[in-house]
Amino acid sequence: MSFDKNKIPQATAKRLPLYYRFIANLHASGKQRVSSKELSDAVKVDSATIRRDFSYFGALGKKGYGYNVNYLLSFFRQTLSQDEVVKVCLIGVGNLGTAFLHYNFMKNNNSKIVMAFDVDPAKVGTDIGGVPVYHLDDLESKITGELEVAILTVPVQVSQPITDRLVTSGIKGILNFTPARLNVPEDIRIHHIDLAVELQSLIYFLKHYPLS
Ligand code: ATP
């Protein structure tokens, strides 16, 4: 299974977790092989794209046979580092943040929120969903070398200064749920998820691009 991860196009890399989840389910149900058509129906990616993606993984499906589920699973586990748990911190234990602290990311993923930060005295010092909530003042002392990912669920007006502190503390990736477009150095990766925009976009598409 030798390949160069850097050669996988970003669009393909983004679909990896989707493929992984489906292949893991197939494996759990005892299935040995899967066709690109079955995969396509399940993950809603067209089969030509799936074939192209899988060719980057060195998984060459055979006609009339499909892809080997065991091979794909071990490939995905290795590539997505599913064997090691990635520790994550969360800043802002409001409604959304609290929901994330209760959510079991380990179910489908290899990540786990291990600590949270807030400034509200009612929340600091508590334990929510098994996760300790610390004061934001303790951010720098609590974030050690092995923590590189943060989830940001704070009010928009405080998001930039907190981001600056996260970067200084060694955080390399931020999942940003605030509507702010954050400024970070080039080597820091930010993924933006604006739930209100996503919902609005879905409603717009339903209205203007009906599927039938
Ligand atoms: P809630 O109803 O609990 O206030 P919310 O998601 O509507 O939830 P927000 O105002 O978005 O509330 O704040 C989210 C969380 O971020 C709150 O728990 C708040 O205490 C916290 N927060 C606010 N300012 C900061 C800050 N500077 N650093 C860390 N956390 C903060």
User: Of ligand 1's atoms, which has the minimum distance to the CA of residue 120?
Assistant: 20
Cβ–ligand 1 contact at 100 (below 6 Å): no
Annotated binding-site members:
92-97
Residue nearest to atom 10 of ligand 1 (CA): 155
Q: Which of 100, 101, 119 to mutate to test the pocket of ligand 1 (most atoms within 8 A of CB)?
A: 119
Of the chain, the percentage scoring pLDDT greater than 90 comes to 59
**How many Å apart are CA 171 and CA 186, to the nearest integer?**
13
Q: Encoding tokens for residue 203?
A: 């409603």
Determine the residue of 115, 120, 166, 195 to mutate for testing ligand 1's pocket, defined as the one with the most ligand atoms within 8 A of the Cβ atom: 120
Q: How many CB atoms lie within 10 A of CB 103?
A: 12
- Pairing of β 173-176 and β 189-192: parallel
Complex-level ipTM: 0.93
Q: Where are the domains of the chain?
A: 5-79, 86-197
pLDDT for res 4: 55
pLDDT classification of 116: cutoffs 50, 70, 90: very high
Residue 198 to residue 211: CA distance in whole angstroms: 18
Q: Is the pLDDT of residue 5 over 60?
A: no
Q: Is 119 in the pocket of ligand 1 (CB under 6 A)?
A: yes
Work out the pLDDT band at 2, boundaries 50, 70, 90: very low
Kindly indicate whether the domain formed by 86-197 is annotated with CATH number 3.40.50.720.
yes
- Fold classification of 5-79 is Arc Repressor Mutant, subunit A (1.10.10)
pTM for the whole structure: 0.75
